[in-house]
Structure formats: structure tokens, C-alpha cells
Amino acid sequence: MANLKLFLFDLDGTLVTTGGAGLKALTQTFEKVYGVKNVLENFSCSGKTDPAIFRELAIHHMHKNLSPLEMAHLQQTYLRYLSIHVRYSKDYHVLPGVERFLEYLIVRGDILLGLGTGNLERGARIKLSRSNLSPYLPIGGFGSDSEDRSLILKAGHRKAEVRCGRKIMDDSVFIIGDTPLDIEAARKAGFKSVAVGTGEYSYDELKVYDPDYFLTDLTKGPAFLRELENIYPAVEV
């Protein structure tokens, strides 16, 4: 029986760009719920999980720890705004090579696909709703599973094993993401990292974090897989 592999994809900057829909929804949420304007000024959300972003923003602007009820209310408000901003975003697009790579992978019987993202699960599905990518990625780890990115990835791994009823070795789990936090979380979880240069970080910036593999974009995905199967220790494909 072939050795199973699991590919977990980050979402923003890896699969799609929403044209800032998430940031607009966050800004509107804090203004609506707490009357705080421009909540994201001097704050980077890059690679952070949604619950961590909500918590850090509340501490930063209001010196306040959110109660579970307040967190739930913020998240519901955010998801409502998010679906509107995703629907009307002028700059929403699927990133280069993504659809072709997923099509290439999905016909294989030995590779499972899923998401590994800091977005809330419902938020991730909303962000993918303008693409046709969701059916390729039926499972995953999400910001709703944990605030810690490495635990999100482990949750995705666990769900994949439950779904297929088989063990997937840690070194057969590949985390595809566009930020240093994706690389670090993959390492912490004991998985392989595949950095992609389609987000806001360049190759040189990502290289510092020593990913196992680097792809300029996912048009290089099929070549990466072929190299992987030839057991070449490719760093740049």
C-alpha cells in the first residue's frame, strides 16, 4: 500500500488573495462593536490566527481580555462583514497555478488535501466561496481549532487520519504557506514546510526561516511533486 501523504494549504497569500476583504471586515467589526476606528493601524495580521488577532487587538486598543461571549460576538459580526466584503471585493483572485495543482493532486489516490489556516473554519469557507477550490479541500485545521498554528496543523493531520482511517507519518505531512509563521508552525508540529512566494514575503525573506522547500508560486507544484518522488532534496524548484 502506497505511503499516504497529506498536503495542508494555508489560505491567504497561498491559495487566494481576497483583496483585503478580511482586513476590511475586521476594521468594520471593531468599529461596530467597540467604536474603535482604524483598529489595524500599526498592527500586522500576517500569519496570525483569527482568535489571536481578536484577542491581541482587544488588549492593544482596550487593554481588555475578551470573555468567551465577547469573543463569540466579535467572531459572528466579523463573519457577517466578511461574506459581504468577499462577495464585492474588486481584487479577489485565485493565485497562479493553484487550480491546476489541486486538480493534479486530487486524482492521486495517495495524497490527501486540506487546509491549514488561521482563519475560523466558517471564515475560510467564506473566503473560498468565490473560487471553486473548497471541494478540493474538504478537511483541515482552522483558527477555530486552536490559537496556536502548530496545533491547528496537528488538528488538520488528526482529522485527515480519521477521514481516511489510516496513519499518516509526520514526515509525509507537507504544510504549504506564504509566511514565516507557516514554516515555524510546520517545524514545531514535526511536519515538512513548503514556502511559497505569492504572499507578502519574498524568497530571501522566507529563506531566513529555512523552509524544507521553496516554490516561487504553485505553477511549480507539479514539478515539486515529481522532485519529491525522486527523493531529490530540492530546496528551490
Instruction: Please say which residue, 46 or 129, places its beta carbon nearer to Mg ion.
Output: 46
Instruction: Please say which residue, 23 or 33, places its beta carbon nearer to Mg ion.
Output: 23
Q: Which of the stretches 4-12, 104-112, 119-127, 200-208 binds Mg ion when contact is defined by CB under 5 A?
A: 4-12
Q: What is the smallest separation between the CB atom of 117 and Mg ion, expressed in angstroms?
A: 7
**CA pseudo-torsion sign 13, 19, 25, 28:** positive
Which single residue brings its beta carbon nearest to Mg ion? 13
Cell numbers standing for residue 58: 482587544
61 burial via Cβ count (<10 Å: 0-12, 13-18, 19+): middle
Please tell me whether residue 94 adopts helix, strand or coil conformation. Answer: strand
- In whole angstroms, what is the distance from residue 70 CA to residue 57 CA? 13
Q: What is the DSSP letter of 41?
A: T
When asked if residue 12 is in the footprint of Mg ion (CB under 5 A), the reply is: yes
Instruction: Please say which residue, 13 or 141, places its beta carbon nearer to Mg ion.
Output: 13
Using CB under 5 A, which of 13, 51, 97, 156 touches Mg ion? Answer: 13
Cell numbers standing for residue 140: 483541515
When asked if residue 178 is in the footprint of Mg ion (CB under 5 A), the reply is: yes
Contact indicator for 127, 10 with CB cutoff of 8 Å? no
Instruction: Please say which residue, 4 or 153, places its beta carbon nearer to Mg ion.
Output: 153
Q: What is the smallest separation between the CB atom of 10 and Mg ion, expressed in angstroms?
A: 4
- Report the interface residues with Mg ion, using CB under 5 A: 10, 12-13, 178
